[in-house]
Amino acid sequence: MHVEAFRTYCLAKKGVTEHFPFDEKTLVFKVMDKMFALAPLERVPAQVNLKCDPERAIALREELEDVVLPGYHMNKKHWNTVLLAQQPQSFYEELIDHSYDLVVSKLTKKARAILAEIK
């Protein structure tokens, strides 16, 4: 998956916005103002950080140790760094969906109601 395809997929999700809160090189995706994905634009090879269930994070790192790493500059229990372009696009889309769903599940009841109203 190319970084631009990653960006397009993230932005297609309901309630997602993109920001550069840290610097002009790290693109951050948020749902209802909560971060679920980061893309350091100048990193080679291309990689992204995605939130992940802790048990699943360990399993992914063990199974795909050259693709899924502990989250770079993140809480390594809850975030993975995922190298792009080595797996099918559906693999990355599923990890993005998982990250997005985890964040949405932790939103307040009010925030989830507002998100549900977004078309």
Mean pLDDT of the 76-103 span = 94
Mutual angle of helices 89-105 and 3-11, in 10-degree steps: 40
pTM, 2 dp: 0.94
Confidence class of residue 99 from pLDDT cuts 50, 70 and 90? very high
Question: Does 85 have pLDDT greater than 80?
Answer: no
Mean pLDDT of the 103-112 span = 96
Confidence class of residue 43 from pLDDT cuts 50, 70 and 90? confident
Q: What pLDDT sits at residue 50?
A: 98
Mean pLDDT of the 76-95 span = 93
Task: Using alpha carbons, select from 19, 41, 40, 16 the residue that is nearest to residue 103.
Answer: 16
- Return the residue matching tokens 């309630």: 15
Domain 3-106 has CATH 3.40.50.1000: no
